[in-house]
Structure 1
Amino acid sequence: MHLILTGATGLVGSGVLQQMLVNESVTRISILSRRPVKMVEGHEDKAKVIIHNDFKSYDPALLDELKDAQGCVWALGVSQNDVNKTEYVEITHHYPLAAAKAFSGLHPDSPFTFVFVSGEGATQTPGMFTPIFGRVKGQAEQSLFDFYKATPNFKLYNVRPAAVDWRHHPEIHPFMPQQAAYKSMLITPIDAVRKSMITPTKPLGKTLTELAMSKGGPLEGKDIRMEGTLLPNVAIRRMAGL
């Protein structure tokens, strides 16, 4: 099976890539990235990095290279603190929607499954104090869902990891971005007092890979919303056996 991955140099993306590489059912990985991806070294027979600078545009040559891909994990993202609001909306909302529209045409007669990495705190009903992150992620989820409803072959999962925990995934430690000291200090107490808010990278990567490999059918569960397409962190943990 051929899968597409974005955000492979980020924390979540590193976890997904490592799990794609060890999954024998994944035979080919096309990684869209602005820069080289070190984890691919030694795995060039399975994974190919395609340097791609404009995530709002997909030319015919690129789409031809991706034409037999059956799913995508969209892990590309940025902190709202690292860019201005306009850039954050472009990266968080416009990029995945452009990709969804492009990838849905790769093979219109068969399903394409798009897994969008959102986050806890995203909402379609923002309040006065909802941060930009929650508003824009929620808008992205809604736009992708609307496209899913209008496009028969396009299948969708919006997933909301919470406090992403890399500590027990040593395979990605040489490749993941350096984490701020405060994150290391916070993750242990969160794990101790509210484990349901922890999202370990290894089971998360495995779950996202398996979702991208699926036919994209609606999921069942009392905590799954948006007609079986929206997975909060508790659902991710349950699917991962945590």
Structure 2
Amino acid sequence: MLGMKEITRISILSRRPVPMASGHEDKAKVIIHKDFKKYDPSLLEELKDAQGCVWSLGVSQNSVNKTDYYDITHDYTMAAAEAFSTLHPDSPFTFVYVSGEGATQKPGMFTPLFGKVKGETETSLLDFGNKTPNFNVYNVRPGGVDWTKHPEIHDYMPQQAFYKRMLMPGLNALASGIMTPTQPLGKILTQLAMSKGAPLKGTDILAEGRIVPNVAIRRMAGL
């Protein structure tokens, strides 16, 4: 987003400062926000000109208990959607939810927690979008997120676990189809958020143009 001339302003909701935005104050404003279930009128006033949002807030299911995981993954997302739908209800707003491969609307006995909760979140967003005029939703499902060829972000990333650093070259060599490079992913997420939110087309697109699996991400990125 910082490198795209088409974008005139970025508002970043974060609990803490965002080092990558430092030096870009003319374009990117970090808004320190503590309660992701609450959006007061003064905050929404700051966001009133936003055309769209990439919602990438999340946490690993292994980092919190089940209740907190549901709260962060589903309830935070829906609170944001409901708040942002009021920004300019007479013109389109596009909400891009960063879900993940494994999310499903039809969980089974062995579906992991993240698959169930992300799938439920996708469904809640689609239902909300269907009943809310001018609020358009895309659920985007990255696969194995690959940061290795995106040096612009390396200095701002947390230290990655040793096993991830060791596995990444092999996964890219042997299973590239399940991987999602961050640079093209970021471009696609941004372009979707900048769009008017029309349903996407393609045999690899699901839910009447609203769910973008990793195979579609790779196709759109020319991979």
Partners of 1:179 and 1:145 in 2: CA distance: 33
SS of residue matched to 2:49: coil
TM-score normalised by structure 1 residue count: 0.91
* 1:79 corresponding residue in structure 2: 60
Q: What stretches of structure 1 of length at least 5 have no aligned partner?
A: 1-19
Partners of 1:139 and 1:177 in 2: CA distance: 29
2:155 is aligned with 1:174: yes
* 2:20 corresponding residue in structure 1: 39
Residues 121 and 134, structure 1, Cα contact 8 Å, conserved in 2: yes
2:221 is aligned with 1:240: yes
Partners of 1:143 and 1:108 in 2: CA distance: 19
Residues 66 and 106, structure 1, Cα contact 8 Å, conserved in 2: yes
* 1:100 corresponding residue in structure 2: 81
| Runs of 4+ with >4 A deviation | none
Cα deviation 1:159-186 (Å, max 9, x = unaligned): 0001000000001000012211111222
SS of residue matched to 1:215: coil
Partners of 1:110 and 1:224 in 2: CA distance: 25
Partners of 1:177 and 1:115 in 2: CA distance: 24
* 2:106 corresponding residue in structure 1: 125
Partners of 2:70 and 2:172 in 1: CA distance: 31
Q: After TM superposition, list the pairs within 5 Å mapping 1:159-238 onto structure 2.
A: 159-238=140-219
What amino acid is aligned across from residue 175 of structure 1 in structure 2? Y
TM-score normalised by structure 2 residue count: 0.99
> How big is the alpha-carbon RMSD for the aligned residues of Structure 1 and Structure 2?
0.7
Q: What stretches of structure 2 of length at least 5 have no aligned partner?
A: none
Residues 122 and 133, structure 1, Cα contact 8 Å, conserved in 2: yes
* 2:134 corresponding residue in structure 1: 153
SS of residue matched to 1:173: helix
Residues 110 and 153, structure 1, Cα contact 8 Å, conserved in 2: yes
Partners of 1:22 and 1:218 in 2: CA distance: 26
* 1:109 corresponding residue in structure 2: 90
Partners of 1:229 and 1:196 in 2: CA distance: 21
Say which of 88, 91, 96 aligns to 2:69.
88
Partners of 1:46 and 1:73 in 2: CA distance: 16
| CA drift at 1:231 | 0.3
Partners of 1:171 and 1:117 in 2: CA distance: 21
Cα deviation 1:98-153 (Å, max 9, x = unaligned): 10011011001000000000000000111111110100000000000000111121
